[in-house]
Structures are given as C-alpha cells and as structure tokens.
Structure 1
Amino acid sequence: MRALLLSSHESPPSLVETAEPEPAKGEIKVRIATCGLNFADLLMMKGTYQDTPALPFVMGMEVAGRVEAVGAGVTGFAPGDRVAVYGGQGGLAELGCFPAERAVKLPDSMGWTEAAAFQIAYGTSHLALDHRARLQPGETLLVLGAAGGVGLTAVEIGHLMGARVVACARGADKLEAAKAAGADVLIDATTQDIRAEMKALGGADVVYDPVGGEQFAAAFRACRPEARILTIGFASGEVPQIKANHLLVKNLSVLGLYWGGYLSFRPEVLTRSLQQLIAWHGEGRLTPHVSNVLPLDRAEEGMALLRDRNSTGKVVITIQDI
C-alpha cells in the first residue's frame, strides 16, 4: 500500500510503498477514503507536538473510511461499516489499523470529505466552548483565527449556542467565510486594533484562541471581569506569558484545551461531545467547511497551505475511492 512516511524531523515526509498492516487485539483495520490535515501535523513534522510518535511513522491524524477487518475482542464494528477515526497517526495511507474505541460510525448523511474534516475541528471547539468555558446564550465570544480549521467551527458552534460571535481573521475573504459560518461582528486583524474594537463592543466574555502571540495579548486586555480565555494552540509560533496578577484583578480564567488528551483520562466526555455534534450535523445545523481537497501525492502541498495560512476551514486529502 502507499503511505506518507516521516523518517526524520529534518526532512519532509515521503510517499512510500509498504506492507499492509493487520489489526491487533482491540483494533479495526480501515480502508481509508480521506484524511483531514491539522496544524498539529506541522508540529509533528518538527517533533514539537506533545504526542509526536516515535520515528518513523505514517502521518495523518484523522480519517474516514470503511472497516475491512476487526481484531480480537472488538465488538460493535463489522467489515463494511463506515467510520471516522481519530488515530493520531497512520491516516495518510491506503490502509490503517486503529483502536476501535477511537472510531465512530458515520451516518449516511455524512460524506467522506466531511467526515475527515469533522472530528478534531468540531470536537475541539465544542469541548472548549461547552465543557470547558460553559459558554452561555447572550455572552460575547471572540474567536481569533476565525477562518482556520478550528476557528470556523468555533464561530459556527458559538452561534448555535446563542452567543454574540465576534470573528477575528486576516483579510476580507477569510472574514467573509467567518460571516457565512454565523459571525455577528468581524474584525480584520491586518487593519484593525483588536483591543479597541472589542472594548467598543463592551469586551469579551469568552475568548477562543488558537493563535497566541500578540493577538492573545490584545484579547486578554479586552476581557470583561470573569471572562474565560481558551488556549487552543499557538499558530503564531509565540506562546503567551500570562501575568497572574492581571488574572487576579479582573477575576479571569485561562483554560487549556487539548482535545486528544481526553482519550486518556475522560473518554466519555469526548464521546458525548461527538454524539451531539453528529446529531447536529444530521439535523443540518453544522456545515463543515473544506477549502482544499488534494490527492495523496499532493499531501505536502496541503501541509504548505496550513503552514502559510492560505486555507480557510479544513484541508482534506483524498486517498482512494471506496
């Protein structure tokens, strides 16, 4: 089978021919149709992601496909089932073996491309806004990086939860995508002062931040008392340093969110969240935004789109027709 293999953190991954894997106990073997790309893939390439596998490994964190075989002890799945899986690795290949507990069955209403774009982006935003920040109807939600893979889902879910959503992104095209996802107010990070614009709106109750750096600092200073700031990631490359006395004065809370981490200590929280999201999708209330669909032999081009921030929503790699 073909697979995109990373053998060194100093060199790009390469498309290779390798032996088909076979499922171990508790695993399912999936013939992969599509794989969603994530900013974490870029960090894995550099070896700086918190869950970077040991080299060499096949890249690709989340997939959609059809079960081909099941390992010993697996119940609830059978060959032919349509599934989405967060494997953490192994997705940019024609076949992969993944823990069955990480798989969810797909409704007929969800196509392969949507399914590969769904789990991490929507799961991250829903868990952050609902489980961590307890976003309430009528609150003001500021979404930084609002046209990115997770940012657009935060706009969409925040709107669904009844918040006033302020979307911050770079450029008119990206802001238009955020508006279509449900944003009430738009801030262009290239031309407008985030702090000043948010102060004029009365401040933020919740900040959703996958960017970090200067944008975090501006949003931090535009928070209302008792605001909650969600740290999702650091696409700017700069991890903010927080002054604890500023938290004290305004009674602020900074909440970390690593979606995949729930698999190890509270998987039921993640499962409930995905069930809610799939139900919303089935009701037509969520519409995954995929800006780029590329074949496996152009996966590195897809990574470059993320690295250079030239995508809106998700980038999905098609592996094969199944």
Structure 2
Amino acid sequence: MEALLVRKLGDPTLPPNASENSSLGLSTSHPIPNLESPTSVRVRIKATSLNFANYLQVLGKYQEKPPLPFIPGSDYSGVVEAVGPNVTKFKIGDHVCSFVALGSFAQFIVADESDLFQVPDGCDLVAAGALPVAYGTSHVALVHRAQLRPKQVLLVLGAAGGVGLSAVQIGKACGATVIAVARGNEKVQFLKSLGVDHAVDLSSANVIESVKGFLKSRKLKGVDVLYDPVGGKLTKDSLKLLNWGAQILVIGFASGEVPVIPANIALVKNWTIHGLYWGSYKIHQPNVLGDSLKELLSWLSKGLITVNISHTFSLAEAHLAFTALKDRRAIGKVMITFDDGKIVKSKL
C-alpha cells in the first residue's frame, strides 16, 4: 500500500524522497496492516486531515515524540474493508471515521471497532475525515469545558484556521455572540459569510479598538469566553477585552510564542483558565471524546455545522499540504485524499 513515512525529524515541506535531507519518504509497497484481534476492523482510508500538531510532530517540536520511522496522521475517514470474526457494529462497505495518535497517512489502517464511528448517511466522507480533531477540540473546549451558553460573547482567535473555523461554527450553534479574529480580507469575508457577529481583520485593524467598538454598539460589557489557538501578543491584547468571570481556553500557540496570563489579574477578575490538550482525553476520559464526536456527526448530518475543505492533496503531494498549513494559506481544513481506483486491494 501507499504510506508516508517520517524517516527523520525535519521540514515536512520538502518533497518526499527528494534527497537525503527529506524528512518524509513515500512508500508504494508498505505492508497492508493485518487484523490484530477478533474485534479489529481494517479501513480503506478515503481522507485524512492535516492538523498543526502533525506539522509540529514531523519537525520534532510536538510534546509527544514517537520513535522513527513512523507514519504520521491522526483523524481520518474511510470505508470498512475487512472485519474480525467478533465485530458486531460494522460490516464491509460501511462508512466510518476515527482518530489515532499516528498512522492515518496511509491507504489502510486497522482499528478496534470500539474506536470507530459510523458516518451518517448523506454526510460527505471527506468532510467526516476533517471532523474529529479540529471540531472535536472546539466542541470539548466550548461545550464540555466552558459550557458556552446562548447570548454569551465568544472571541475566537485564528478564526480562519482549522480549529478556529470549527470554534466559530460551534459557537453559533450554541447561540453565542461570536467575534472572529483573522488576517486578510479573504478570510474575513468568509467568516462573515458564516454569520459571525463581528470580524476583525488584523491586517488593517487593531483588535482592542475594533472589539471594544463592537461591544459598545451592542451594549455588551465584554468577552465571556476567549478561544485561543494563537498565543503571543494577540493573547495579551485579548485579555484586555475579557469580562469579569470570563473563561480562557488555551488551545495552542500557532504564533510560536507562549503567552503569560497574569495570575493577579485572573484572581481579581475571577477568570477561569482551561488548558485543553484534546488528545489526552483518549487516556483519561475517552467517553467525553466519544460523546463529542457522536454529537458532531449528528450536527453535520443535520447541517448545523459544515466543514470547509480549503485544500486537497494526494499523499505524494503531502509536502504541499504541509506548506499550505505552514504558510497559513488555508481557510478551514487541509486534506489528503486517496483515489479509490488506485487503492491496493488486500486479502484476509
């Protein structure tokens, strides 16, 4: 089968197999994984999503560092291709999605049936492959942790990226007043098309002045929930907009700078600071992730949320996918998809 291997840590924007300096290697004859247990399911992958964590992992800058070589990739969707003798939830041909710590940048993957989720009829399979990590992160953050309520003010930083865009949509689904912050007119116009209540273009506006002006026009006191996958100076500025009793969701540091949140101000203003490492729920509270993804798939099937696929690449073009992610060119999700006609068939 076709699989992308991380042979050495380094820049994933260099073409696979291009030189000795390439961190990525593309294999066209990687072994197809066998069913590991009576409840195992082999999935023929249709689509797998790129997340910023995948980029950091190849660079060697992520908190989890697997031994080399490894197949990167986390969330995916596909079609059930083989099932173990004790599998009861799925049959060959079913559409499923899931997430793993590693391994989805390949044509096939094996998972236990308990880790798979049925994709509802009518849902786009590529969109389902983009759902678990980005939308799961925002859903757990906003619904489970912050318990976002209707009419609360939600401020989303990095709002045009994968997790940011998901936070905007989930915020609207929860009935919140959503303020979206992004850079560039194209991104801002797209956010407005989603119905955000206010959008800030960082290339031409000051976030503090713009948001304060909007809050004043709506007679609102401040921001109730800050969703922050960016960090750096933008976080520092956003703290000046928070209400008494606000909640801060620390999602990531795409700016490369870890912000400092003054504990004395958090005390005086009764702020709650949530650190959210979505993947750790798999170990500590897996039922939270399961319930979250089931609700998201239901919302997707009902049209309450949509997944904007910004870029789609083949596995051989993985370096271009990583480049789109690195250069912040995406509005929404970057995906790697597999052509069904080129899938290598396997035998039980």
CA displacement 1:242-276 (0-9 Å, x = unmatched): 22111111111111112221111111111111121
CA displacement 1:76-108 (0-9 Å, x = unmatched): 223222110101221111111234332101112
SS at match of 1:31: strand
Check the 8 A contact 2:162/2:331 in 1, yes or no.
yes
Counterparts of 1:279 and 1:34 in 2: how far apart (Å)?
Answer: 19
1:134 is aligned with what amino acid?
A: Q
Instruction: State the match for 2:9 in structure 1.
Output: 9
The normalised TM-score by structure 2 is 0.89
SS at match of 1:57: coil
SS at match of 2:9: coil
Q: In the alignment, which of 204, 227, 230 is matched to residue 191 of structure 1?
A: 204
Instruction: State the match for 2:335 in structure 1.
Output: 316
Instruction: State the match for 1:123 in structure 2.
Output: 136
Check the 8 A contact 1:136/1:163 in 2, yes or no.
yes
Instruction: Please report how far the alpha carbon of residue 195 of structure 1 lies from its aligned counterpart in structure 2 after TM superposition.
Output: 2.1
Q: Structure 1 residue 104 and structure 2 residue 117: aligned?
A: yes
CA displacement 1:109-141 (0-9 Å, x = unmatched): 112211111111211111111111111111110
1:197-216 correspondence runs (5 A):
197-200=210-213, 201=215, 202-216=221-235
Point out where structure 2 has 5 or more consecutive residues left out of the alignment: 11-21, 216-220, 342-348
Counterparts of 2:159 and 2:287 in 1: how far apart (Å)?
Answer: 28
Instruction: Please report how far the alpha carbon of residue 170 of structure 1 lies from its aligned counterpart in structure 2 after TM superposition.
Output: 0.1
Q: Structure 1 residue 142 and structure 2 residue 161: aligned?
A: no
Counterparts of 2:329 and 2:255 in 1: how far apart (Å)?
Answer: 14
Q: In the alignment, which of 28, 36, 53 is matched to residue 40 of structure 1?
A: 53
- CA-atom RMSD in angstroms: 1.5
The normalised TM-score by structure 1 is 0.95
Q: In the alignment, which of 189, 214, 233 is matched to residue 176 of structure 1?
A: 189
SS at match of 1:206: strand
Give the structure with higher Rg (CA).
2
After superposing the two structures, state which structure 1 stretch, 87-96 or 223-232, moved more. 87-96
Instruction: State the match for 1:260 in structure 2.
Output: 279
Instruction: State the match for 2:301 in structure 1.
Output: 282
Instruction: State the match for 2:94 in structure 1.
Output: 81
Q: Structure 1 residue 19 and structure 2 residue 31: aligned?
A: yes
Instruction: Please report how far the alpha carbon of residue 142 of structure 1 lies from its aligned counterpart in structure 2 after TM superposition.
Output: 0.4
1:43 is aligned with what amino acid?
A: L
1:251 is aligned with what amino acid?
A: N
Instruction: State the match for 1:297 in structure 2.
Output: 316
Check the 8 A contact 1:87/1:99 in 2, yes or no.
no
Identity of paired residues, percent?
A: 43
Instruction: Please report how far the alpha carbon of residue 74 of structure 1 lies from its aligned counterpart in structure 2 after TM superposition.
Output: 4.1
Instruction: Please report how far the alpha carbon of residue 316 of structure 1 lies from its aligned counterpart in structure 2 after TM superposition.
Output: 0.9
1:12 is aligned with what amino acid?
A: S
Counterparts of 1:101 and 1:151 in 2: how far apart (Å)?
Answer: 29
